[in-house]
Amino acid sequence: MTSFKFSPPFLTGANRVTLQMVQVIIALIPAIIALVFYFGYGVLIQIILALVTALLTEAAMLKLRNRPLKPFLSDGSAAVTAVLLAVAIPPLSPWWLTVLGVSFALIFAKHLYGGLGYNPFNPAMIGYVLLLISFPLEMTTWLPVSSLASQVPDFKMAAELIFTGQWQGQGVDALSGATPLDQMKTQIGLMRSPEYVSSQPLFGMFGGLGWEWINIWFAIGGIWLLYRRVISWHVPVALLGSLFLISTVVWIVAPQVSGSPLFHLFSGGTMLGAFFIATDPVSGSTTLKGRLVFGAGAGLLIYLIRIWGGYPDAVAFSVIIMNMLVPLIDYYTQPRVYGAR
């Protein structure tokens, strides 16, 4: 026995922060493969770019804050932020967009609040919202899924587009199109019915074409996290449940307002948000009842913003707004303590 603790308990479980973060990244792998399949290698380049930026930013901030590098660089939290932001950014976005988003997330949303464990907001979503508000054009130039695209960028082409903005004279915008959520919103704005909109080639069986599979793979990764007890079921179930509930009610009462409940569950960032973003322990609610409230609130806001807000998708805004309410939620959802009346 080499080390000895001097205060009880003298036993310890195997659970570690790093292990949890690594498992989150592992759970993202199926959906990342799906993203690459539908949108090309740009996704991978963005992830690598984000990871490098995250590690450099994290190291620089730790240095500036006079904190030990090794335990915090190896905890995996910066990598999780980087990957989550990278998969949310359009695959062929210019390199500076990713670098700016990731470094802003880590500097302003994480380290200026005290680093790991102290951030009141989900750093990846703060980075995303900064980019969305500041660079709405770049942030909405999504590629069409590969089966609809006139040209699917290979690795070299994607790298050139990301780092120079040009490939053989054409820019990213020449390749991009509206996302299904985008399309649904604008077409309904033009008084077209949701059924008509979802019969267009951009749409699949029940969600956006390709997007529904990406969402399914995010969900499968999330269910694996549930099985590994890295996350609890409360947030995903509450979020998806409330989103499903309100979209069903509106679908029944006023079908012309928006897409079907399934469309909302399997489009955009729904599953990513439900299993990977809203379940962030640091910025989320910690009580079980609180997590139900948190998830339900986020699900409701996602729908409200998607339908009546200014942006096609709303996962980031919803999670951040719910983050603000966490102290309040936590205070009023304390469990009944043993022996209390």
Partner 1 sequence: MRRPVSDFPGGLHLPGHKKRSTQTPIRKTPLSKQLILPLQQHIGEAAMPIVAVGDTVLKGQRIARADGHVSVCLHAPSSGTITAIEERPIPHPSGLSAPCIILETDGEETWIERHPIRDFLQHSAHELRQLIRDAGIVGLGGAGFPSFIKLNPGIHHHVDTLLINGAECEPYITCDAMLMRERAEGVLDGIEIMRHALSARDVLIAIEDNKPEAITAMQLALGSRQSLADADIVVVPTRYPTGGEKQLIQVVTGKEVPSHGLPIDIGVVCHNPATAYAIGRAVIHGEPLISRIVTVTGTDVTHAGNFETLFGTPIKALLEYCQTRRQPDEPFIQGGPMMGYSLAGDELPVTKTANCILVGVDEAAQTSEPLPCIRCGDCASVCPASLLPQQLYWHARAKEFDQTRDYKLFDCIECGCCDYVCPSKIPLVSYFRFAKTEIMNQERERNKADHARERYESRLARQERERLEKEQRQAQRKAALAASKKAAAAKADRQEAPVPPAKKPDIAKEGQ
User: What residue type is 39 in one-letter code?
Assistant: F
Q: State which residue, 62 or 131, has the beta carbon closest to partner 1.
A: 62
Compute CA distances 106 → 110, 111, 209, 300, whole Å. Answer: 5, 6, 33, 28
Would you say 277 and 235 are in contact if contact means Cβ atoms under 8 Å apart? no
Q: State which residue, 34 or 322, has the beta carbon closest to partner 1.
A: 322
Q: State which residue, 9 or 189, has the beta carbon closest to partner 1.
A: 9
Q: Is 73 exposed, middle or buried (0-12, 13-18, 19+ CB in 10 A)?
A: middle
User: Which tokens belong to 259?
Assistant: 């897409």
Q: How far is the CB of 341 from partner 1 (least distance, A)?
A: 7
Compute CA distances 305 → 53, 85, 308, 314, 324, whole Å. Answer: 31, 20, 5, 6, 17
Would you say 122 and 319 are in contact if contact means Cβ atoms under 8 Å apart? yes
Would you say 129 and 316 are in contact if contact means Cβ atoms under 8 Å apart? yes
User: Residues in the site for partner 1, rule: CB under 8 A?
Assistant: 1, 3-17, 19-20, 68, 71-72, 75, 77, 114-118, 232, 281-282, 284, 286-288, 291, 330, 334-341
Q: How far is the CB of 335 from partner 1 (least distance, A)?
A: 4
Q: How far is the CB of 78 from partner 1 (least distance, A)?
A: 13
Q: How far is the CB of 219 from partner 1 (least distance, A)?
A: 21
Would you say 303 and 243 are in contact if contact means Cβ atoms under 8 Å apart? yes
Q: How far is the CB of 76 from partner 1 (least distance, A)?
A: 11
Q: State which residue, 146 or 333, has the beta carbon closest to partner 1.
A: 333
42 vs 160: CA distance, rounded Å: 10
Would you say 39 and 59 are in contact if contact means Cβ atoms under 8 Å apart? no
34 vs 47: CA distance, rounded Å: 14
Q: State which residue, 35 or 282, has the beta carbon closest to partner 1.
A: 282
Q: How far is the CB of 303 from partner 1 (least distance, A)?
A: 26
Q: How far is the CB of 268 from partner 1 (least distance, A)?
A: 27
Q: State which residue, 33 or 55, has the beta carbon closest to partner 1.
A: 55
250 vs 300: CA distance, rounded Å: 12
Q: State which residue, 284 or 312, has the beta carbon closest to partner 1.
A: 284
